[in-house]
């Protein structure tokens, strides 16, 4: 239970992802709103980083970053607090585990308990599992939906670049045009992979939870429901897992 003094505190969470900045505005343990912005670059004026996104110099800003050079744009903010792997009370963590994966799975454990598998559909599609101790079981990484589409467009002549969110349901498996063929290849193979990892997790940890999160979580959930409805019905969708992980860390480090 969060103490009343914590519930009254306003703070900002910032997750620096591989391609975007993910923001959350909290009142204690309540997430008021969440939004995304592009990465900062040197065209931003020095003072703008301290006043943008609702920051006034007195509001605590908690940052977790998978892109170290992005941290330089926030170092002068007076109330900055950086979250790294040492802040997360997981055992079995290896030094190169992404802080975004660690926070998401810690958020899942904090909110749902363990064992739990987190499937995070972002720039990378990651699978991260922990047991009930909580100790890291392990995981896997492959390109996310958007990354797969971009890779085909960049490396194959005359193929159009498609956004991952252009289709809410699965295309025909046997496509008769190039855009649909790209979507068929990426979506069917990715969803089959997600199904395989979830089933493997449930074999190792029967009765445990699997949770979809990240920017493409709803696309993956819809595709699972279309192709594998029994798995989709027992899979949780929670796009804010990483913020719940930060919420727990902030609470534990607040007076």
pLDDT tens-place string over residues 20-46: 899 999 998 899 999 999 888 765 554
The pLDDT of 143-171, averaged and rounded, is 74
Each residue of 219-232: pLDDT tens digit? 999 999 999 999 99
Placement of tokens 């607090």 in the chain: 81
Q: Which residues contact 165 (CB under 8 A, 6 or more apart)?
A: 216, 219
Residue 148 pLDDT more than 70?
Answer: yes
Most confident of 14-28, 166-180, 233-247: 233-247
Indicate which residue of 41, 56, 100, 196 is catalytic: 100
Average pLDDT rounded to a whole number, residues 159-182? 75
pLDDT top residue among 1 and 202: 202
> For 9-13, 75-79, 240-244, which range has the lowest pLDDT when averaged over its residues?
75-79
Q: Which residue is associated with the tokens 């914590």? A: 6
The Cα–Cα gap between 247 and 254 comes to 10
For the chain, how big is the Rg over CA atoms in Å? 19
What mean pLDDT, rounded, does the chain reach?
87
> Residue 16: pLDDT above 70?
yes
Does the structure show a pLDDT above 80 at 165? no
Active site residue 29: no
Tokens encoding 155: 């490396």
CA 76 – CA 252 distance, rounded (Å):
24
**What's the farthest any 2 CA atoms get from each other in the chain?**
61
Mean pLDDT of 209-221: 94
Give residue 8's pLDDT band: very low, low, confident or very high (50, 70, 90): low
């Amino acid at each position: 239970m969060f103490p009343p003094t914590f519930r009254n505190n306003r703070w900002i969470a910032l997750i620096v992802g591989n391609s975007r900045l993910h923001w959350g505005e909290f009142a204690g343990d309540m997430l008021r709103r969440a939004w995304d912005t592009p990465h900062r670059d040197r065209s931003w004026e020095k003072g703008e980083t301290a006043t943008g996104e609702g920051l006034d110099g007195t509001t605590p800003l908690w940052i977790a970053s998978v892109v170290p050079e992005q941290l330089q744009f926030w170092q002068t903010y007076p109330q900055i607090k950086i979250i790294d792997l040492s802040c997360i009370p997981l055992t079995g963590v290896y030094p190169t585990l992404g802080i975004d994966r660690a926070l998401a799975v810690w958020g899942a454990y904090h909110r749902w308990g363990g064992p739990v598998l987190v499937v995070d559909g972002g720039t990378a599609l990651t699978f991260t599992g922990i047991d009930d101790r909580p100790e890291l079981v392990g995981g896997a990484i492959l390109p996310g939906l958007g990354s797969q589409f971009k890779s085909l467009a960049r490396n194959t002549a005359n193929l159009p670049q498609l956004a991952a969110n252009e289709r809410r349901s699965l295309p025909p498996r046997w496509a008769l045009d190039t855009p649909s063929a790209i979507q068929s290849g990426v979506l069917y193979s990715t969803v089959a992979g997600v199904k395989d990892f979830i089933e493997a997790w449930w074999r190792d940890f029967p009765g445990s939870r699997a949770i979809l999160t990240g920017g493409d979580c709803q696309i993956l959930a819809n595709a699972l429901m279309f192709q594998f409805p029994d798995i989709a019905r027992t899979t949780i969708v929670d796009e804010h897992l990483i913020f719940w992980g930060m919420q727990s860390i902030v609470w534990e480090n607040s007076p």
